[in-house]
Amino acid sequence: MQDKKTSSPAELPTLPKAPTGIEGLDEITEGGLPKGRPTLICGSAGCGKTLMGIEFLVRGALEFGEPGVLMAFEETAEELTANVTSLGFDLPALQEQKLLRVDHVHVDRSEIEETGEYDLEGLFIRLGYAIDSIGAKRVVLDTIESLFGGFPNEAVLRSEIRRLFRWLKDRGVTTVITAERGDGTLTRQGLEEYVSDCVILLDNRVIDQITTRRLRVVKYRGSTHGTNEYPYLISEEGISVLPVTSLKLEHEVSDQIVSSGVPALDEMFGRKGFYQGSSILLTGTAGTAKTTLAAAFANQIASQNKRCLYFAFEESPQQLVRNMRSVGVDLAPWIEQGLLHIEASRPTLNGLERHLVVIHKLVKELKPDAVVIDPISNLINVGNVNEVRSMLTRLIDFLKVNNITALFTALISGRTNQLDATEEGVSSLVDTWISVRDLEGVGERNRGLSILKSRGMSHSNQVREFVVTDHGIQLLDVVIGPTGIVTGASRLTQQLQEQAQELALRQELERKDRELERRRRVLEATIANLRTEFESVEEELRQINSEELTRHQTFTEGRTAAVSEMSGRGAPGHNTKSNNQ
């Protein structure tokens, strides 16, 4: 018993899955649909069940090398081909390449006589032949109600449905079965969801006159999966599912710095700009130059030979270019060079998810280095706050994963004093939050800018007044008055007062300099007089010393001469006396 080894979770075999190739769906199902097992896709009319099944076959044939069989019970092959042509799916070409087989089975319920011996042998033979003819790995049955809708005997119904699902499992084909939504149940019969290994529910709802399609994985035997409702779209490129919470925070980050386009604003950040791939939120009341700051950022990106994608929800491209040219920001050259793409539309033109898909599509096509959305607050008109927050959360994650620097502007209502909160509730999601606001003075309104947060770097805590000039945005130096920071006319008054004080101080210093110079000259004159007196006394003393020295020398010489003379007189007499003796 002790020698028996238990397998670790990493060694246990995982459930084989067949990737659908549908954007987002494989992420939610963590790899795709259960391979070799039936999956039920159910929903009401118009939610895209048939389109999802066909895309599952087309993607499988083109991207994963798995041929498929489409067996339709309601629409003919010609009708199906015409319906999916708008999505870019060429079913005839796939049939010629033996990658797809489309078979229409006509079931007339009025001709069916219910008996206890009713079975699906004919369907099995026909479906088996279609599978073997192209070596199909995938099968789509659309829809199951056409087969069993005319049989009220629940016992027969349950037996034949179970038999159908067992036959598909035995064939080892990955099957998608579409079914109509029932009244209080997932399907009309209320049985299919119990025998299916995977159940996907599609929903098409209208809220405030805006249509939104949502997908939910009801069950998935043998595998974990996303359990939330996920919006999805049907566009010209097929079905796109937009996960809400499946994205993981595992994206790479960059230490590169991106300029804001306003040099003085860059100086307020410890790293002199934004981190590349970060998200920046610019909030303020109406008329606080949010769009001008956003355009300056886009202009800076394009000037570095990088691409910028600009979404404008309030102005047309022509109006935006004209308005920005008046403040020294010329966007037209970058548009002509293809470095700046402006996508302008009213938010109410599309639902939130449609806007998100458009952003995804343009990002994949243009591969921009930066994205500007001006403003995100207009999206409130399309959905409620929770939906907008969900959409922006997915957008921010998507841009971060692709290392794209994102700048969002948002309008804050001036009716409330809560200027540090956004109606969209995304301030906590972004990396940098810049607030622009009105600074009301005596009879005037000025603009002020401050940085509320900037993750990963130090930043200034000052509220800087700024002006919009013909040469762009200029941040003014901070002027502090007796009661604090002053702006506008008070700034000019304070500057005049400071200039007057500076002038008076300069004049006082000049006066003191002149007084000092005068005293220096007086001192120098006094020193000169003293020096002259000293020189006179020195000269007089030198003269006296010279005369005294001369007298001393004369006296000495005279004395010496006298001594010599007296010595000469005494010598001869002495000699005479000696001689007389």
The residue length of the chain stands at: 581
Rounded Cα gap, residues 366 and 343, in angstroms: 12
The 10 Å CB-count burial string (b at 16+, else e) for 505-529 is eeeeeeeeeeeeeeeeeeeeeeeee
pLDDT at 382: 66
Q: Average pLDDT, stretch 329-357?
A: 83
- Residues 6 or more apart whose CB falls under 8 angstroms from that of 434 comprise 265, 280, 281, 282, 283, 293, 449, 450, 451, 452
Q: Average pLDDT, stretch 328-338?
A: 94
pLDDT-derived band of residue 443, with 50, 70 and 90 as boundaries?
A: low
- pTM for this entry: 0.66
Rounded Cα gap, residues 157 and 114, in angstroms: 11
* DSSP H or E segment with residue 203: strand 198-207
Of 284, 283, 270, which is closest to residue 454 (Cα–Cα)?
270
The DSSP bridge pattern shows strands 274-275 and 17-18 to be unpaired
pLDDT at 290: 93
Report the alpha-carbon angle 449-454-456, nearest 5. Answer: 155
pLDDT at 565: 79
The first and second tokens of residue 239, run together, are: 């079905």
Q: Average pLDDT, stretch 237-241?
A: 81
* DSSP H or E segment with residue 165: helix 154-171
pLDDT in tens, 200-216: 999 887 766 667 788 98
pLDDT-derived band of residue 569, with 50, 70 and 90 as boundaries?
A: low
| Structural contact between residues 362 and 342, judged by C-beta atoms closer than 8 angstroms | no
Rounded Cα gap, residues 450 and 427, in angstroms: 15
Query: Would you give the distance in Å from CA 410 to the centre of its chain?
Result: 14
Query: Would you give the distance in Å from CA 27 to the centre of its chain?
Result: 22
Question: Mean of the per-residue pLDDT values for the chain?
Answer: 81
pLDDT-derived band of residue 6, with 50, 70 and 90 as boundaries?
A: very low
Q: Average pLDDT, stretch 249-276?
A: 89
* Residues 257-477, CATH architecture: 3-Layer(aba) Sandwich (3.40)
Instruction: Fold for 2-241, please state it.
Output: Rossmann fold (3.40.50)
Q: Average pLDDT, stretch 44-57?
A: 89
pLDDT at 3: 45
